[in-house]
Amino acid sequence: MPTLTNHVDVVTRVKAELLAVGVSIAGPCGAFEITKRVAWECQKLEPGLRPGLIAKVPGQAGCAWPGHPDPDSYYGHQVIIYPDGTHYDILIAAGNLNEPSWALQQIDGQPFLRPELWRPAQNPIAPPIPPEPVPIPPQPFPKVIKVRLRTYNGHYVRAEGGGGSTLDATATSGNIWEEFFAEILEVS
């Protein structure tokens, strides 16, 4: 087993950063917000040792990772694990106090090793997948529109008396007598 650095300082810093930007660290999944970021930070500090997250199954004390490529994945909310199975409890009273810690998990004075539970750390703030664009439904074309017809020399076509009589193009301004309704039969 390699000699591993105590990273309680990283746990303390990550917790403070999350609180400063208003991220909830309440409950087990709030504690997991700390844990997944600590795993990522420790991976950058110890790339050859590959600290990661401990796998859990639904029903065990753990959290799903919303937006994760594997939606059925659950992770321990307070543990950092190394590929050899050595794991550290990084939060005291996880989900409640979330006090920073770096405690080697042991049974009878020996490290508790579960290498099959190691999962690699992942960037907790990877860019989100952009949402699909919302299609704009086609707008119905109006069946009837109001128009004014103007001639080349600037006169308006009018229906004397509002219609039912003669048409002429002698009006010099567009008023109610110069308004017509056109029915749209087809749009090409």
Running DSSP on this structure, what letter comes out for residue 28? Answer: H
pLDDT in tens, 10-52: 999 999 999 999 888 998 888 999 999 999 999 888 878 888 9
CA 109 remoteness from chain centre = 44
Say which residue, 50 or 165, is predicted with more confidence.
50
Say what the pLDDT of residue 128 is: 45
| Torsion, CA 143, CA 144, CA 148, CA 149, rounded to 10 | 60
Distances (CA, A) of 103 to 84, 107, 132, 154, 156: 16, 13, 44, 90, 90
In terms of pTM, does the model score above 0.75?
Answer: no
pLDDT higher for 130 or 184?
Answer: 184
- pLDDT, position 101: 93
Which 3 state secondary structure label does DSSP give 2? coil
For the cut 70, the answer to whether the pLDDT of residue 56 exceeds it is yes
Question: CA 19 → CA 48, 84, 90, distances in Å?
Answer: 30, 32, 17
Structure confidence by residue, pLDDT tens digits, 100-154: 999 998 888 888 888 888 888 888 875 544 455 666 667 666 677 888 888 888 8
pLDDT at position 123, please?
84
Length of the chain counted residue by residue: 188
Residues 147, 149: Cα–Cα separation, whole Å: 6
Rounded CA separation 115/92 (Å): 23
* pLDDT given at position 37: 93
